[in-house]
Amino acid sequence: MSKMMELLFQGRHEELWQMCCGFLDLSLEQFMTIQKRLLLEQIELLKRCELGRKLMRGAIPETVEEFREQVPLTTYADYCPELPEYREDVLPTKPLLWQHTAGRSREYGFKLTPYKWVPVSPRFCQELGVVMYGIGIFASCRKKGDLSGLKKRPRIVYTVAPRPYTSGVMTYLMKDVVNPEFLPPLEEAEKMSFEDRIAVGFIQALSRGIDFFFGLPIILVAIGERLSRQPATIDIRYLRSQPRMLLRLVKGRVRSRLARRPMLPRDLWKVSGIMCGGTDGVVLKERIKKLWGRYPLDTYSCTEAGIIATQTWDYDGMTFIPNLNFLEFIPEPEYAKWQSDNSYQPRTVLLDEVKPGENYEVVVTNFHGGAMVRYRMKDVIKITSLRNEKLGIDIPQMTFEGRLDDVVDVSGLVRLTEKAIWQAIENTNIPYADWTARKEIIDGRPVLHLYLELKDGYVASEKGVATAVLEQLIRPDEGTFYGSVARAVDSNPILVTLLPEGSFLNYTARRRAEGADLAHLKVRHINPSEEELALLCAPVETVPEVEAAAEAEAAARQ
């Protein structure tokens, strides 16, 4: 039994809160003291290993300042061939496990594997498990110190990619920390296809219930909207042998009829907490709240660094985690210089130097014997404030803006992120299945070309959709500067192509038939290649089930 579960079973709630959530009480000065102490410990480990000496380029830093001055920033190319070849003898510590992201090491000139493999040390896993438990507390509590939403053995539907994807690794860490009841059980789930385990998991949940959801927001939306469109149709002969399932469905039907609306997931399950990550959590949060009765708790996590930041029970900005990675930030003007000249070495600032309202690229150095050293995440975050005034948290707050390379540079003045485009589409309230976008030159002028598939039989013109999206992008609170461009060119700088129903699902089916890996079944939202667009716009030959769409979404966001 983990220390966290031991404290929960013994009713030592104050100790449990302090262990998992106590970092919220840190002053910024205390936060930085932890950061610098753990970095100095990590530097000593790096000095004694082959990979560390390679990455530090002969430098022997003795202080945090010397480390930042003497050690260059790195990308995954600097870790090849050691990490793709799983060379444990060169690492700061022997890893407990290896995990990989959906990114391609081939992009860095190494052809052995299509993934970016990252080792995870035993101590890092231990510390990450404590942080994950704290996130479960935040997702279920109503105020500071509230542990009433915790379950001694929570039920969780298995809806993430299997190991060695990072989400699968985190799921197994959760097993060791919390010992939840997974639906279906982990051993069975990993032998199923993605769509099968989601279908089986939610069927089992009709009988067993759901306490927490850990995974992708798009799956919650897909399941919820499917349920509202066509109520569960289960053979009555099967229901006779499943009285708990029958009772749950009957109660759900009564609740929905009393509310005079279709049945929603919140009529069937009272979920204690929803934990997610990625751009879609922010964009889809209102739909999730409507369907499931709770907002999703947003986290900023990744393969190379574990969990970097998390929301708390106010579901506002995210608070940084002090004890997993040393955090540095490249200001937007600095990474803009690098984009113009890749030989330029951007300068970084620390968390006690960031400014509210500014965008930064994140740089991490793993603690506890991890491998990543001043590693450029290529993720852009925004510092929304220097503290959470409402909850009295003295640590700067952030939101995730998107990938540095997931930007459509329309005119040099306008750089639209995936989040900005997706939020604009969502705000139109036009029902859509999925979308992709890129910059194109039409009649000698740059435009944002949006490829969109409508759903639910919705009828619209391409011009009408383009106008609706533009209206959302030029809202003053969006801050995209898109309205200025539209007025300057005296026209709508958006071109919309409406795709036939089933186009995105057909893309997934074709990619699966080609033998594509789970991580590459989904066309990218930003800057799709000519090959991807050709396949997406090909005649629709087959329309897989809704779960296949969830699989595609899952593949793109692990």
pLDDT for position 87: 97
Residue 102: band (very low, low, confident or very high) from pLDDT cuts 50, 70, 90: low
Question: Average pLDDT over the chain, rounded to whole?
Answer: 87
Report the range of poorest mean pLDDT among 147-161, 318-332, 359-373: 147-161
Residue 498: band (very low, low, confident or very high) from pLDDT cuts 50, 70, 90: very high
Which of 295-302's residues contact partners 24+ apart within 8 Å by CB, and which partners?
Answer: 296/213, 296/217, 296/220, 297/135, 297/138, 297/139, 297/273, 298/400, 299/135, 299/275, 300/379, 300/381, 300/398, 300/400, 301/166, 301/170, 301/277, 302/101, 302/166, 302/377, 302/379
Half-sphere exposure for 318 (CA within 13 Å, toward CB)? 27
pLDDT for position 111: 56
pLDDT tens for each residue of 174-198: 988 998 999 999 889 888 887 788 8
pLDDT tens for each residue of 37-69: 999 999 999 999 999 999 999 999 999 999 999
Domain 124-299 class in CATH: alpha beta
Paired tokens of 278: 């990625």
462 pLDDT more than 60: yes
In total, the chain counts a number of residues equal to 558
385 pLDDT more than 80: yes
pLDDT for position 94: 97
pLDDT for position 223: 82
Which of 55-58's residues contact partners 24+ apart within 8 Å by CB, and which partners?
Answer: 55/79, 55/373, 55/374, 56/373
470 pLDDT more than 70: yes
Q: Is 0.85 surpassed by the pTM of this model?
A: no
Report the range of poorest mean pLDDT among 368-377, 455-464, 548-557: 548-557
Report the range of poorest mean pLDDT among 237-251, 273-287, 428-442, 470-484: 470-484
The residues near 275 (Cβ < 8 Å, ≥ 6 apart) are 135, 136, 139, 212, 213, 214, 296, 297, 299
How far is Cα 505 from Cα 357, in angstroms, rounded to an integer?
A: 38
Paired tokens of 96: 């407990």
Task: Specify the 3-state DSSP secondary structure of 249.
Answer: helix
Half-sphere exposure for 387 (CA within 13 Å, toward CB)? 13
pLDDT for position 551: 45
Q: Output 334 or 283, whichever has higher pLDDT.
A: 334
pLDDT for position 429: 94
pLDDT for position 339: 84
234 pLDDT more than 80: no
Report the range of poorest mean pLDDT among 18-32, 284-298, 405-419: 405-419
Max intra-chain CA distance, the chain: 72
How far is Cα 507 from Cα 514, in angstroms, rounded to an integer?
A: 11
User: Which residue in the block uniquely carries the two structure tokens 């929960």?
Assistant: 8
Sheet arrangement for strand 297-302: 181-183, 155-157, 212-214, 273-277, 297-302, 306-310, 318-320, 397-403, 375-385, 359-366, 325-331
pLDDT for position 485: 46
Residue 109: band (very low, low, confident or very high) from pLDDT cuts 50, 70, 90: low
How far is Cα 398 from Cα 394, in angstroms, rounded to an integer?
A: 13
295 pLDDT more than 90: yes
How far is Cα 344 from Cα 238, in angstroms, rounded to an integer?
A: 66
pLDDT for position 266: 94
Please give the C-alpha separations between residue 194 and each of 150, 219, 278, 504, in angstroms, as whole numbers. 28, 11, 19, 17
Residue 475: band (very low, low, confident or very high) from pLDDT cuts 50, 70, 90: confident
552 pLDDT more than 50: no
How far is Cα 304 from Cα 282, in angstroms, rounded to an integer?
A: 22
pLDDT for position 434: 94
pLDDT for position 172: 87
How far is Cα 56 from Cα 472, in angstroms, rounded to an integer?
A: 46
10 pLDDT more than 90: yes
Q: Output 419 or 359, whichever has higher pLDDT.
A: 359
Nearest-5° Cα angle at 457, 451 to 461: 50
When pLDDT is averaged across residues 406-420 and rounded to a whole number, the result is: 68
Residue 327: band (very low, low, confident or very high) from pLDDT cuts 50, 70, 90: very high
Residue 489: band (very low, low, confident or very high) from pLDDT cuts 50, 70, 90: very low
Task: Specify the 3-state DSSP secondary structure of 340.
Answer: helix
| Domain locations along the chain | 3-92+318-403, 124-299, 407-556
Report the range of poorest mean pLDDT among 39-48, 282-291, 442-451, 484-493: 484-493
Residue 414: band (very low, low, confident or very high) from pLDDT cuts 50, 70, 90: low
pLDDT tens for each residue of 127-153: 999 999 999 999 999 999 999 999 999
For 186-216, b/e burial (b = at least 16 CB within 10 A) is beebbebebbebbbbbbbbbbebbbbbbbbb
pLDDT for position 221: 85
Task: Specify the 3-state DSSP secondary structure of 393.
Answer: strand
